[in-house]
């Protein structure tokens, strides 16, 4: 019953708010190729990490702008196709170092979360029984 109540609420406990992971996800996408912003939004939506939910496009563009200001990505205007020019993003050496740091940080979180989950499950089970 409690599980059904929680599933219907827009609560961070449902994993609906993963905005902090957008940063390393964008850097990961840019490791393989230069991308336009709208393609980044589409690829993030396809990523299983977001469980098929579309990220907020304006949030993605804010993140890209911030990462460019910090030197993690660069951008230029792609005018090779007819129509409106589109900004194309590329990861920098600083961005690669940042992604490496993200990976180490997330691995540490992963280990800590595993320990926390064991503790929380055991605590919950002892209270239910």
Contacts of 30 (CB under 8 A, 6+ apart): 40, 73, 89, 90, 91, 95
* Per-domain boundaries in the chain: 12-128
- Is the model's pLDDT at 80 over the cut of 70? yes
pLDDT for 4 equals: 46
- Is the model's pLDDT at 8 over the cut of 90? no
pLDDT for 86 equals: 87
Contacts of 110 (CB under 8 A, 6+ apart): none
pLDDT for 6 equals: 45
- Is the model's pLDDT at 14 over the cut of 60? no
| Mean pLDDT score, 54-77 | 92
Fold of 12-128: Arc Repressor Mutant, subunit A (1.10.10)
């Amino acid at each position: 019953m409690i599980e059904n109540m929680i599933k219907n609420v827009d609560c961070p406990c449902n994993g609906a708010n993963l905005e902090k992971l957008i940063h390393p996800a964008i850097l990961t996408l840019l490791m393989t190729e230069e991308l336009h912003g709208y393609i980044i939004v589409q690829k993030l939506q396809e990523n299983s990490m977001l469980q098929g939910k579309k990220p907020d496009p304006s949030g993605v563009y804010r993140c890209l702008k911030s990462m460019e200001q910090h030197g993690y990505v660069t951008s230029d205007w792609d005018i090779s196709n007819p129509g409106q020019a589109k900004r194309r993003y590329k990861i920098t050496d600083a961005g690669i170092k940042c992604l490496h740091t993200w990976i180490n940080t997330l691995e540490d979180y992963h280990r800590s979360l595993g320990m926390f989950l064991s503790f929380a499950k055991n605590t919950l089970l002892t209270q239910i029984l």
